[in-house]
Amino acid sequence: MNRQVLIGTVLFCAAMAVLLFLRLLPLSAGAARLPGPDLGLCLVLAWVLRRPDQLTALAIVLAFVVQDIILLNPLGLWPAIILMGTEAARLREARWRDAPFMVEWLRIAVLIGAMMLGYRIVQVLFMMPVPALGLVILHYIATIAAYPLVVLGARALLGLRRITDIEVEQMRAAR
C-alpha cells in the first residue's frame, strides 16, 4: 500500500468516524423529525469519483460494516450494496471526469436511487422490516440535496479534488 492510499484511507476512516459520531448524538429530545441525508454515502461516492486511487474497497466495506454494527442495521446488506455502487462509479470515473458537476450530480442521483431501490427490494424479498416508502423517499431527496454540500466540504476540509489526467498517467507509469 503506497503512501497516498494510506493517507486517503486514514482520512476517509476519520471522516466516517466523525459522521457516525454526529449521527449518534441525541440532537432532538424525542420529537419526530424528518429523515436526514446519508452523509457517509455522499462522502464515499464523492471520494471515489475524485480520488479513486486513494480509497480501497476494503476500507469502504469496513467503514460501513462498523456503521451497521453500531446502528444495529442488517449486517452487511447496505455495505454490499454500497460496494457495488462505488465500484460501478469507480469504473466510470474516467468517463465522468470531464463532465460538469450538474451531470455528475444527476448520475449520482440515479446511482443512489438504484442503490436504495435494491436495498428495499432485498428487504422485501427476505421479509425484513421495511421503513415507510414516504420516509425512504424523503431520505433519498435529503441525500441527493446534501451531495453538493458534501463535495464542497470535502474539498475545503479534506483537500479532496478531482484527479487530473497527468496524475493518472503518473500512476500508470509508476506501476
- Alpha helices by DSSP H, listed for 31-159, are 39-50, 57-71, 77-96, 101-125, 133-158
In a domain, 28, yes or no: no
The answer to whether the Cα torsion of 166, 99, 85, 69 is positive or negative is positive
In a domain, 138, yes or no: yes
pLDDT at 30: 59
In a domain, 26, yes or no: no
Does 77 have pLDDT greater than 90?
Answer: yes
In a domain, 29, yes or no: no
Q: d(Cα 84, Cα 145) in Å, to the nearest integer?
A: 22
In a domain, 8, yes or no: yes
List CB contacts of 28: < 8 A, sequence separation 6 or more. none
Domain that holds residue 131: 3-20+36-169
In a domain, 175, yes or no: no
The model's confidence at residue 7, banded by pLDDT at 50, 70 and 90, is confident
Q: In this predicted model, what pLDDT tens digit does every residue of 16-63 receive, in sequence order?
A: 999 999 888 876 665 667 788 999 999 999 999 998 888 899 999 999
Q: In this predicted model, what pLDDT tens digit does every residue of 145-158 receive, in sequence order?
A: 999 999 999 999 88
Does 66 have pLDDT greater than 90?
Answer: yes
Q: In this predicted model, what pLDDT tens digit does every residue of 117-167 receive, in sequence order?
A: 999 999 999 999 899 999 999 999 999 999 999 999 999 988 888 877 777
Per-residue cell: 106? 444527476
Q: d(Cα 63, Cα 16) in Å, to the nearest integer?
A: 7
In a domain, 31, yes or no: no
In a domain, 118, yes or no: yes
pLDDT at 35: 84
Question: How many domains does the chain contain in total?
Answer: 1
